[in-house]
A and B are shown apart, each in its own frame.
Chain A
Amino acid sequence: MSTVTDTHDDHHDHGPAKGLMRWVTTTNHKDIGTLYLVFSLIMFMVGGAMAMVIRLELFQPGLQFIDPGFFNQMTTVHALVMIFGAVMPAFVGLANWMLPIMVGGPDMALPRMNNWSFWILPFAFAMLLSTFFMDGGAPAGGWTIYPPLVLQGGNGFPFMIFAIHMMGISSVMGAINVIVTILNMRAPGMTLMKMPLFVWTWFITAYLLIAVMPVLAGAVTMLLTDRFYDTTFFNAAGGGDPVLFQHIFWFFGHPEVYILILPAFGIVSQIIPTFARKPLFGYSSMVYATSSIAFLSFIVWAHHMFTVGMPLQGELFFMYATMLIAVPTGVKVFNWISTMWKGSMTFETPMLFSIGFVIMFTIGGFSGLMLAIAPADFQYHDTYFVVAHFHYVLVTGAIYAIMASVYYWIPKWTGNMYNEKMGQWHFWISTVSVNVLFFPQHFLGLAGMPRRIPDYSVQFAEFNMWSSIGGFVFGLSQVFFCYIVYKTIKGGEKATDQVWEGAEGLEWTLSSPPPYHSFTEAPEIK
């Protein structure tokens, strides 16, 4: 993005190096943020293409296009790419771009590690995707990689394990950088309880990352030794336990879910006040609610495995703990609505995506509450009801928040306004299609369609067709999104520094685009 070039000569600032090497060797938080965001968009398209293959095969009953084994590879790699390649790097990209600016610092605290944590990622994903060309194909045991099934995989298996290790290392380094930046780079007067909520949610997310990514690394390493070095961690015949893996995996997996959503909470908490022209309602309760959610995320993991055969006491504990999460999550939703209440709202694209987020994330939250009720979960578990649930919280939740943040901050990043009309079209097409895509999946699950199947009984035909049509339209509308972003980078109406009438915060005091080094002198904090 050449628009980030240095334009101010008043202090002797060195601009970015020229050409390709600028991106390879950069230690600049904005350059690295851009790299992360572009990488994430590419992965979003790659993962999306796999989703299209899945929906194409499920368009009609019967197997028309692909082998069931390849279908399993698609569902598995779709999830890994979307979680580790699209959503997480997008949030890290946003953190890179915005955190130093929002706390009034010049750059991230650890710039060289920042460069490294990004440049690991393309190699990790090249390794993961290369498994498609190996004997036995890509991993096909589901993104949850449960043994013993995953141990039956082909030659791609160890490559997937090492790819996950690299993604984990990248995430942990990114998280360390976030924490060190927030604790050390704040401008004088920027106390913790004055930080914008996006900074707060990322601060908490970073701790979650550091806590759980090593757990995942441990779990996948045990898989590796079970397969190649004759250990039997997860094999009952050797004294191990396949369910042990699920406990370890979900001890990582549930906090991971909040890693994917807490920064989204932060984004929405920035955008809604701007377009309601009213300060965020209940700032401190938002901070406490986020912390409570993070804490609870460590003690609810086994609700992903209610049907695995736990003792009654265990099931009761995990059911109660899971239901509790509804309380702080509810607090957040109520606070957003109270922020809108008696505001003076306008509905530019970032606001539309944020409101879409609040409504559809809440729908995902409702189905989450239903899933928390253990006896009912015995019916919902591993059906399309679950598929609908987590796509509502991840697509219309996490990804909608990322879309909102791109529209919100892209005028700041590039200095150009995006095309408002196109943005609105993008929102409406996406929102209608995403509901046609995922809402019928609730019915499919309740009526008895298991997840992760390439073919289904004819009674599920009509809703699957609806779902596929919604999927194709939603997929296409994201291609349109890429075009809008491309067009905005290339040019457009010049953005003011303030950009949005109701915007408050340090990022709006800098020029659009901001100088190469954000705050070389500490700004004054009101």
Chain B
Amino acid sequence: MNKLKQLLATGVVATIMSTAAQAEYGLNMPVGVTETSRQVYDLHMLILWVCVAIGVVVFGAMIYSMIYHRKSKGAVASQFHESMTAELVWTVIPFIILVVMAVPATTVLIDMHDSSEADMQIKVTGYQWKWHYEYIGEDIEFFSSLDAASNEARQVGSDIDPATVENYLLDVDKPLVIPVGKKVSFLLTAADVIHAWWVPDFGWKKDAVPGFINEAWVRVDKVGVYRGQCAELCGRDHGFMPIVVEVKSEADYAVWVAEQKGAAAAAKLASIEDLDPRELKQKGKKVYRANCVACHQVKGEGIPGVFPAITGSVIATGDINNHINMIMNGKAGTAMAAYKDQLSDVDLAAVITYQRNSLGNKVGDAVQPAEIAALR
């Protein structure tokens, strides 16, 4: 037994040392950057210390008993087996502790529910597997999905070391931008399945449920970049739809808003020009890689039984109008989303052209952005 004890001791020491080395990686909940997140952190620490205190008493009594009340020490068993007083004491005292805990918890909860008097509203929509942000009343909206570097590195057998990718799995192509110090209210919903929007530094997460709208709010008091992830299992790429929020000073935010409006106008102009089919195909490959591969796979073979193949499919090799309709409007009751809400006219035209003339398909036709625009 002595050897075993030695072994155990070594293990414990190793664990503690490793834990200390990990300190900078975070062992605990972040304090966060909002009043709410600090309140939540305080509640968390309070309940943690209450548990530690109870644990010390309970485990202390157990360990004492295990050391001193053992047969090998000659302990003789007493035969007492009930005490009304003891039962009352350990019913009433925990009850009082719980009431004391419930008071601050209730206060914080009431505060978190009060999303009135917000300075601005953003509608957040979860998609498989990206987020869509719409600034209500501002005419700004965009999708935010996993950035290209992480996406490449995370493929099975990519041979790219995740440690070499900056903010691996926690970076997006276009982050959400909000102003510092303003009360921003979020209206959360989803287009397909349930997702959950979570940035730990803000102190909460909230489900995005298709067909329903949930409300939550933040008032961030520090400029910076804050990262989070989808927290509700939403299918194959649930682990790959991060959230990045850039909190900017009011002046920087105003600049950003102006930029977005300029970019939107330029994008509208671009969609009218016709493009060379080869250019469409090239562009389509990028769009396909970003939006379609998760289900239909890199070579278009799909996953039998769940996600149909594109190679040789009736839709992608038959009447082009059916193909356009499928991509633009999706298929109800399946994971196939309506991409007219998600992609621009150029991207739609490109990806349809790509699917018809690549991935083993050779139909030979193409569709132009203007035709897509006419169908909207």
Contacts and interface: CB of A to CB of B under 8 A. Distances in A.
Interface of A: 61-69, 72, 134-137, 140-142, 146, 148-149, 151-155, 235-237, 241-243, 276-285, 307-309, 312, 315-316, 319-320, 323-324, 326-327, 330-331, 333-334, 337-347, 355, 358-359, 362-363, 366-367, 369-370, 373-376, 378-379, 381-383, 425, 428, 432, 436, 443, 446-448, 450, 452-463, 466, 502
Given A281-B82, A373-B43, A382 B69 contact: no
B162 A285 contact: no
B61 A337 contact: yes
A340 B239 CA distance: 46
A359 B196 contact: no
Interface string B202-216: 011111011110110
Contact of B71 (A338, A345, A425, A462): A345
5 contacts: A375-B112, A446-B26, A454-B239, A455-B162, A460-B25
B29 A69 contact: no
Given A243-B209, A355-B66, A428 B82 contact: no
For the complex of A and B, 7 pairs with smallest distance between CB atoms: A236-B211, A135-B305, A136-B305, A453-B239, A309-B214, A154-B305, A447-B26
A276 to B, nearest CB: 7
Contacts of A331: 87, 90-91
Nearest to B8: A432
A327 B69 CA distance: 27
Interface in B52-85: 54-55, 58-59, 61-62, 65-66, 69-72, 75-83
A432 B9 CA distance: 11
Nearest to A135: B305
A487 B53 CA distance: 44
Nearest to A144: B233
Nearest to A243: B209
Contacts, number: 324
Interface stretch (B132-140, B164-172, B278-286): B164-172
- Please tell me the size bucket of the interface on B: 35 or more
B7 to A, nearest CB: 9
Interface in B105-127: 105-106, 108-110, 112-113
Given A149-B194, A315-B109, A344-B69, A376 B77 contact: no
A279 B306 contact: no
Residue among A64, A148, A316, A362 facing the most chain B CB atoms (10 A cut-off): A148
A136 B109 contact: no
B77 A343 contact: yes
Contact of B40 (A68, A237, A378, A436): A378
A310 B51 CA distance: 27
B79 to A, nearest CB: 7
A309 B101 contact: no
A344 B77 contact: yes
Nearest to A60: B162
A344 B76 CA distance: 5
B334 interface: yes
Residue among B113, B204, B239 facing the most chain A CB atoms (10 A cut-off): B239
B234 A149 contact: yes
Nearest to A341: B65
Contacts of B304: 135-136
A154 to B, nearest CB: 4
B236 A61 contact: no
Interface of B: 4, 8, 11, 15, 18, 22, 25-30, 39-40, 43-44, 47-48, 51, 54-55, 58-59, 61-62, 65-66, 69-72, 75-83, 86-87, 90-91, 94-95, 98, 101-102, 105-106, 108-110, 112-113, 153-158, 160-163, 167-170, 188, 192-194, 196, 198, 200, 203-207, 209-212, 214-215, 228-240, 303-306, 333-335
Given A152-B235, A309-B206, A450-B229, A243 B212 contact: yes
B109 A340 contact: no
Contacts of A277: 71, 77
A370 B44 contact: yes
Nearest to A454: B239
B94 A375 contact: no
B156 A66 contact: yes
Contact of B95 (A68, A327, A366, A450): A327
A63 B62 contact: no
A345 B70 contact: yes
Contacts of B188: 309
A447 B233 contact: no
Given A309-B214, A344-B75, A370-B48, A376 B87 contact: no
B210 A378 contact: no
B211 to A, nearest CB: 2
Given A436-B15, A448-B26, A456-B239, 5 more contacts: A284-B82, A358-B62, A366-B51, A453-B239, A466-B18
Contacts of A134: 305
A323 B26 contact: no
Contacts of A466: 15, 18
Given A319-B102, A346-B70, A366 B55 contact: yes
A459 B153 contact: no
A382 B158 contact: no
Nearest to B171: A457
B335 to A, nearest CB: 5
Contacts of A69: 236, 303, 306
